[in-house]
Amino acid sequence: MVVGDMTEQTDLVVIGGGPGGYSAAVRAGQLGIKTILIDQEAVLGGVCLREGCIPSKALLHVAEVIGLSQQATAYGVNFAPPQIDLGKLRSWKGDMISKLSQGILSMCKSNKVDVITGQARFLNERTLHVNCEGENSRQIKFKRAIIATGSSIIKTPAFFKDPQDQNSKRILDSRSALQVPEVPGRLLVVGGGYIGLELGSVYAALGSEITVIEMTDGLLPGVDRDLVKPLANHLNNIFKNIFLNTKVLSIEDSGEGIVCSYQQVGQQETTKEKFDYALIAIGRKPNTDDLGLENTSIELDNTGFIKIDEFCCSTDKKIMAIGDVTGPPMLAHRAMRQGHVAAEVVAGMSSAFDNLAIPTVVYTEPEIAWCGWTEGEARAKGYSIEVAKMPWSASGRAMTLGEPNGLTKIIYDPKTMLVKGVGVAGVRAGGLIAEAMLAIEIGLVVEDLVRTIHPHPSLSETIGEAATAAMNRKARQQKEQSIA
Amino acid sequence: MPFEFKLPDLGEGIREAEILAVKIAEGQMIAEDAPLFEVETDKAVVEIPSPVAGKVIKIYVKAGQIVPVGTVMVSIEESSSKTASIPSTNSTESQTITKTTTYPPSPSGEKSKASFVGEVIATPATRQLARELKIDIHLVHGTGPSGKISKEDLLAYADQQNKFKATGMPESAASSKPAGEGNKDGSDYTLLDFEKFGPIERIPMRSVRRKTAQLMSLSWSKIPHVTHCDEANITELEKLRHKHGATMQEKGGRLTLTAFIVKAVTLALQKFPEFNSSFDENTEEIILKHYYNIGLAVATDRGLIVPVIRDTDKKSILELAIDINGIVDKTRSGKIELEDLQGGTFTVTNIGAIGGTSATPIINYPEAAILATMQAKEKPIVRNGKIEISLVMPLSLGFDHRLTDGAQAANFVQLIVKMLEEPSSLVPTL
């Protein structure tokens, strides 16, 4: 031990102050457990608050406002082109983050959670060493620990002939893109996943010309194609180019801009194109380095995530793990629920992460949201399912919003009529998924959705309508059977 | 973390097992597949092998104990250090709490364990309550739509389990219930306090006895039974049997009367399919079975067990004789496998060895009928105006009057009688 190190004891230490970590710490505090929360940043909230969900949604709101002002022309309301004050936009966003972060801190305090800023590392299965900048380092002896260190952006050095170019200001990642350093004229987005498309939409609204390069044959790989279609149609209008089945070979900073060479999969021909900036959004990896995991008996799975069971316990019985560091889907709300489970398990409660579904929302315009089984996955697994759809072109509310491009679909088990999955594409789809989540978690059958009154006119009616379509189909099938 | 071995799901509706023998000791090193326990379920004695190799850390159960499915029986420190990655079918099946987790699919195509079959339907709060009550929710019967489990279902199950724990008996066998609360079957009675009249002894109803009690009550309360009695003159049959007996013995079979009866029954079932059926009350349909699996009631030390001879229509009498001998031996020695007790379509019970002139056998639910053959005795028979001494075997057929009527039953039994009386008709099937 270094002379001057402080050693303290606690029941629970939570490493990482993101949504998972602070949820765990606050819940533990509520349950009367002596808890210390450690984050390497002074601003609590993790990637989600500082450089992820919250700032991106703020910017997407701006994009929506701009988009709506442009669409308004269609119904006879004309606005002048927007004048964008980037400084003000940034400070609006910054204020929001600091306010929310303050809120997290005061929530920790009111639940008697000690918050430490520093870098934590396991010395052994009972002890953490915390390096606090500008202070003496501390040692914490704990009874239980929860790892909630999250994930970070995957770097792609292979793209760059000159490694220096990686650090060029013209190369953005999801973190720096959210700072909105400027509005580039031509922005290349590498990766057609939700981060690339959300940020691409923001920059398109701010005035950039967007080119997306995606390696697979469609945007948002893994999502049902019929849900992606309304978004793909819209993005085809607001983006300059979307290249699917296309591989980035190299990216160079020429000093005046970015030169990207790319190639269609299976083709010989290489295209070189100039951009002002490039945003690389190809995925995230778990933060497990520099944690001293080698000093514990924690095991990682073969993709590098910490292995946990349904009680969020790792293979080291004193140490638990939650959130992105434990695997996909890397979503804040999954981490938060796991955080509650982990804290309750520490408190001796018999909680478990037994959730049947985790919702996902892509906050593009239109939004895409889904939960439970996707049609694609259920079919790939060979489950007998049926799918009932309600196109939004028949929804009064969608029309009054000027957004008739959308789809609501219910994936159900025709035998039990249980709701197995719901997918929604369309404006404000994210808000509709909550009803679907409840239906799946509490085991509703399709008929329950039909017999529940949905407000008229509202987008939630599309769930009731899709459910009605399913029931009508069932009635037809029964009739055919009885005739046969 | 040591591997915790839990009593695995042993098949069709079996919820607990009695431990007959513990075959390991704490501290012992064991190989994978080494026998851990011998347990007796309602239906059979089975040996449970170890899914892992390693050192026995702790044994949580002892011989004589009845344990529900999912009970941790032993913890084993595995030889290899890869504790978390043993997807042996038994271990995953038996890790009751693990099974409640069904990770939802993720957009990135994460492997999911969820399966529509056997998935629990219950609200999150009910699932939590199940864990608090230490109940494997998979074992709870849901009374809601599509089998949804309510809080009440859970509490009812917990109540039943508690009674089970307190008495070592399931609720139906636990007698001390306050008057007026009603019994499991909805009736409302309490037993007299017999001790007022003299000394008594209480013996727990266990395994086979208990299962028999449950099944017989079920059958008797559900099925309107009719018993039809007849007689067969088996003088000729016995001659034939003894004539062929020696050759059969050379071929390794003991040509028992039962083999002939099973064959005759099978042939009769093919003519009268309603006796090889089941009644589906839910759909109001008669399910005709186009396969012939004859159950044989076998008295054992542990009670009545009914092993099944499969595909009796496809087997010669000799083959049947060999099968019957094998399966009866296995049953009597307690070595019968669970699958040998399942899938019967009709049952034959032969009480003849002991005696009796007629019986009213109870149908092996949900079959349609059961044939009891009684002791064959020499009797005076009047034929063509003369009295002859013949070997006569009484037959009693119990049948489900919902499925068929007395006339068919009489014809069905007559056909069997005819085949037994004129065994030449059976000879081609020897």
pLDDT at B105: 36
Q: What share of chain A in percent tops pLDDT 90?
A: 90
Q: What is the 3-state secondary structure (H, E, C) of A3-72?
A: CCCEEEEEEEEEECCCHHHHHHHHHHHHCCCCEEEEECCCCCCHHHHHHCHHHHHHHHHHHHHHHHHHHH
A371 to B104: CB separation less than 8 angstroms, yes or no: yes
Asked whether residue B258 falls in the same domain as residue B356, the answer is yes
The residue assigned the tokens 């998972």 is A20
pLDDT at B168: 52
CB–CB of A375/A409 below 8 Å? Answer: yes
B102 to A416: CB separation less than 8 angstroms, yes or no: no
pLDDT at B106: 36
- B119-128 mean pLDDT: 88
CB–CB of A344/A31 below 8 Å? Answer: yes
What are phi and psi for residue B19, nearest 5 degrees? -85, 120
| Rounded-to-integer distance, Cα B399 and Cα B413, Å | 11
What band does B313 get if pLDDT is binned at 50, 70 and 90? Answer: very high
CATH number of the domain within which B143 lies: 4.10.320.10
Alpha-carbon Rg for chain A in angstroms: 24
The residue assigned the tokens 């029931």 is A471
pLDDT digits (tens, 9 = 90+) for A445-470: 999 999 999 999 999 999 999 999 99
Alpha helix ranges (H) inside A207-326: 225-238
Is B179 a residue whose pLDDT tops 50?
no
User: Does residue A414 fall inside a structural domain?
Assistant: yes
pLDDT digits (tens, 9 = 90+) for A278-310: 999 999 999 999 999 999 999 999 999 999 999
Residues of A within 8 A of B109 (CB-CB) are 222, 377
| B272 to A344, B230, B398: CA distances (angstroms) | 63, 17, 15
Asked whether residue A366 falls in the same domain as residue A469, the answer is yes
Residues of A within 8 A of B122 (CB-CB) are 443
Interface residue B26 vs chain A (CB under 8 A): no
What band does B117 get if pLDDT is binned at 50, 70 and 90? Answer: low
pLDDT at A1: 46
Asked whether residue B375 falls in the same domain as residue B311, the answer is yes
Q: Interface of chain A against chain B, CB under 8 Å?
A: 220-223, 299, 307, 309-310, 315, 317, 327-329, 349-358, 360, 370-374, 377, 381, 383-384, 413, 416-418, 420, 441-443, 445
Nearest to B57 by CA among B19, B18, B98, B5: B5
Separation of CA A295 from chain center = 31
Residues of B within 8 A of A418 (CB-CB) are 121, 146
pLDDT at B104: 36
User: Does residue B112 fall inside a structural domain?
Assistant: no
B134 to A310: CB separation less than 8 angstroms, yes or no: no
- Considering B106, B140, B171, which residue would you say is the last residue of a domain? B171
Separation of CA B156 from chain center = 25
Mutate which: A227, A355, A356, vs B, most B CBs within 10 A:
A356
pLDDT at B161: 78
User: Does residue A193 fall inside a structural domain?
Assistant: yes
Structure tokens at B37: 């326990």
- Considering A282, A313, A335, which residue would you say is the last residue of a domain? A282
B120–chain A nearest CA distance, Å: 9
Number of domains in chain B: 3
CB–CB of A450/A472 below 8 Å? Answer: no
Asked whether residue B292 falls in the same domain as residue B366, the answer is yes
pLDDT at B79: 75
CB–CB of A13/A140 below 8 Å? Answer: yes
Helix (H, G, I), strand (E, B) or coil at B100: helix
User: Does residue B188 fall inside a structural domain?
Assistant: no
B134 to A309: CB separation less than 8 angstroms, yes or no: no
Which has the minimum average pLDDT: A5-19, A51-65, B196-210?
A: B196-210
User: Does residue B85 fall inside a structural domain?
Assistant: no
Structure tokens at A352: 């478990």
Nearest to B395 by CA among B219, B224, B233: B233
CB–CB of A325/A150 below 8 Å? Answer: yes
pLDDT at A431: 94
Structure tokens at A439: 């239906």
Exposed (0-12), middle (13-18) or buried (19+): which is B348, by Cβ within 10 Å? buried
- B206-230 mean pLDDT: 90
| Rounded-to-integer distance, Cα A136 and Cα A120, Å | 13
pLDDT at A44: 96
Asked whether residue A364 falls in the same domain as residue A433, the answer is yes
pLDDT digits (tens, 9 = 90+) for A137-163: 899 999 999 999 999 999 888 899 888
| Rounded-to-integer distance, Cα A409 and Cα A80, Å | 38
Residues of B within 8 A of A195 (CB-CB) are none
Structure tokens at B362: 């109870």
A14–chain B nearest CA distance, Å: 22
User: Least CA distance to B134: which residue of chain A?
Assistant: A350
Ramachandran class of A323: left when φ > 0, alpha when ψ lies in -120 to 50, beta otherwise: left
- B169-195 mean pLDDT: 51
Which has the minimum average pLDDT: A222-236, B35-49, B126-140?
A: B35-49
| Rounded-to-integer distance, Cα A229 and Cα A85, Å | 33
Contacts of B385 (CB under 8 A, 6+ apart): none
- A330-344 mean pLDDT: 98
Asked whether residue A32 falls in the same domain as residue A136, the answer is yes
**Strands A35-39 and A367-372, bridge-based pairing:** unpaired
CATH number of the domain within which A315 lies: 3.50.50.60
pLDDT digits (tens, 9 = 90+) for B340-354: 888 999 999 988 778
- A66-75 mean pLDDT: 93
Selected residues 48-107 of chain B with any CB under 8 Å from a CB in chain A? 83-84, 97-98, 100-102, 104-107
- B150-169 mean pLDDT: 77
Alpha-carbon Rg for chain B in angstroms: 26
Is B174 a residue whose pLDDT tops 70?
no
Asked whether residue B167 falls in the same domain as residue B215, the answer is no
Axis-axis angle for helices B317-332, B257-271 (nearest 10): 120
Structure tokens at A141: 């002896």
How open is the CA angle A292-A294-A297, to the nearest 5 degrees?
A: 115
Asked whether residue A239 falls in the same domain as residue A310, the answer is no
Q: Which residues of A82-112 are buried (b: 16+ CB within 10 A; e: fewer)?
A: eeeeeeeebeebeeebeebbeebbebbeebe
- A425-454 mean pLDDT: 95
Enter the DSSP assignment of A356: S
Asked whether residue A470 falls in the same domain as residue A331, the answer is no
Asked whether residue B152 falls in the same domain as residue B16, the answer is no
Structure tokens at A469: 């379509």
Ramachandran class of B367: left when φ > 0, alpha when ψ lies in -120 to 50, beta otherwise: beta
Is B263 a residue whose pLDDT tops 80?
yes
User: Which position has the higher pLDDT, B429 or A187?
Assistant: A187
SS3 content of chain B, % helix, strand, coil (to 5): 35, 25, 45
Asked whether residue B37 falls in the same domain as residue B150, the answer is no
| Rounded-to-integer distance, Cα A192 and Cα A247, Å | 12
Which residues partner with B287 through β-bridges?
Answer: B278
pLDDT at A377: 94
ipTM of the complex: 0.79
CB–CB of B32/B52 below 8 Å? Answer: yes
Is B393 a residue whose pLDDT tops 70?
yes
Q: What share of chain A in percent tops pLDDT 70?
A: 99
User: Does residue B325 fall inside a structural domain?
Assistant: yes
Asked whether residue A113 falls in the same domain as residue A215, the answer is no
- A172-179 mean pLDDT: 95
User: Does residue A86 fall inside a structural domain?
Assistant: yes
| Rounded-to-integer distance, Cα B308 and Cα B323, Å | 10
Mutate which: A197, A326, A354, vs B, most B CBs within 10 A:
A354
- Considering A256, A282, A308, which residue would you say is the last residue of a domain? A282
Asked whether residue A31 falls in the same domain as residue A148, the answer is yes
Structure tokens at B263: 């064959």
Asked whether residue A258 falls in the same domain as residue A298, the answer is no
| Rounded-to-integer distance, Cα B406 and Cα B228, Å | 8
Asked whether residue A308 falls in the same domain as residue A434, the answer is no
What band does A4 get if pLDDT is binned at 50, 70 and 90? Answer: low
Asked whether residue B37 falls in the same domain as residue B161, the answer is no
Asked whether residue B8 falls in the same domain as residue B63, the answer is yes
**Which residue is catalytic, options A129, A340, A454, A456?**
A456
Alpha helix ranges (H) inside A426-460: 429-441, 446-450
pLDDT digits (tens, 9 = 90+) for B187-217: 445 677 888 888 888 888 777 888 888 889 9
Contacts of A262 (CB under 8 A, 6+ apart): A213, A243, A246, A247, A248, A249, A270, A271, A273
CATH number of the domain within which B351 lies: 3.30.559.10
Number of domains in chain A: 3
Asked whether residue A161 falls in the same domain as residue A238, the answer is yes
Enter the DSSP assignment of B121: -
A234 catalytic residue (yes or no)? no
The residue range of the domain holding B219 is 211-429
Q: What share of chain B in percent tops pLDDT 90?
A: 32
The residue assigned the tokens 């007559």 is B414
Asked whether residue B150 falls in the same domain as residue B69, the answer is no
| Rounded-to-integer distance, Cα A381 and Cα A194, Å | 24
Ramachandran class of A175: left when φ > 0, alpha when ψ lies in -120 to 50, beta otherwise: alpha
B107 to A443: CB separation less than 8 angstroms, yes or no: no
pLDDT digits (tens, 9 = 90+) for A388-413: 999 999 999 999 998 899 999 999 99
User: Does residue B196 fall inside a structural domain?
Assistant: no
Structure tokens at A473: 């189909």
A441–chain B nearest CA distance, Å: 6
| Rounded-to-integer distance, Cα B123 and Cα A138, Å | 44
CB–CB of B403/B277 below 8 Å? Answer: yes
- Considering B33, B65, B96, which residue would you say is the last residue of a domain? B96
pLDDT at B256: 85
Asked whether residue A148 falls in the same domain as residue A184, the answer is no
User: Does residue B204 fall inside a structural domain?
Assistant: no
For B156, other C-beta atoms within 10 Å of its C-beta total 15
Asked whether residue B285 falls in the same domain as residue B412, the answer is yes
User: Does residue B423 fall inside a structural domain?
Assistant: yes
For B154, other C-beta atoms within 10 Å of its C-beta total 21
Asked whether residue B232 falls in the same domain as residue B295, the answer is yes
User: Does residue B179 fall inside a structural domain?
Assistant: no
Is A173 a residue whose pLDDT tops 50?
yes
pLDDT at B219: 92
B127 to A327: CB separation less than 8 angstroms, yes or no: no
A446–chain B nearest CA distance, Å: 11
The residue range of the domain holding A30 is 6-153+285-346
Nearest to A147 by CA among A260, A63, A257, A39: A39
Count how many pairs of residues, chain A against chain B, have C-beta atoms within 8 Å: 93
Q: What is the average pLDDT value for chain A, to the nearest integer?
A: 94
pLDDT digits (tens, 9 = 90+) for B59-74: 888 887 888 887 888 8
User: Does residue A484 fall inside a structural domain?
Assistant: no
CATH number of the domain within which B22 lies: 2.40.50.100
The count of residues in chain B is: 430
For B32, other C-beta atoms within 10 Å of its C-beta total 14
What are phi and psi for residue A118, nearest 5 degrees? 170, 175
What are phi and psi for residue B259, nearest 5 degrees? -60, -40
User: Does residue A481 fall inside a structural domain?
Assistant: no
Asked whether residue A289 falls in the same domain as residue A277, the answer is no
A418 to B102: CB separation less than 8 angstroms, yes or no: no
Asked whether residue B356 falls in the same domain as residue B265, the answer is yes
| A148 to A37, A145, A186, A306, B370: CA distances (angstroms) | 10, 10, 37, 10, 65
* Closest residue to A417, CB basis, from B98, B128, B146: B146
pLDDT digits (tens, 9 = 90+) for B11-50: 655 677 888 888 888 888 888 878 888 887 766 677 788 8
pLDDT at B181: 41
Residues of A within 8 A of B98 (CB-CB) are 309-310
Mutate which: B81, B98, B101, B150, vs A, most A CBs within 10 A:
B101
User: Which position has the higher pLDDT, A174 or B191?
Assistant: A174
Is A98 a residue whose pLDDT tops 60?
yes
Residues of B within 8 A of A310 (CB-CB) are 97-98, 100-101
| Rounded-to-integer distance, Cα A323 and Cα A312, Å | 10
A328 to B123: CB separation less than 8 angstroms, yes or no: no
Whole-prediction pTM value? 0.62
Alpha helix ranges (H) inside B123-234: 124-132, 151-167, 207-222
Residues of B within 8 A of A350 (CB-CB) are 128, 131-132, 134
What are phi and psi for residue B52, nearest 5 degrees? -135, 165
pLDDT at A208: 97
pLDDT at B173: 39
Nearest to A359 by CA among A325, A328, A331, A392: A331
The residue assigned the tokens 């004129």 is B422
- Considering A232, A262, A282, which residue would you say is the last residue of a domain? A282
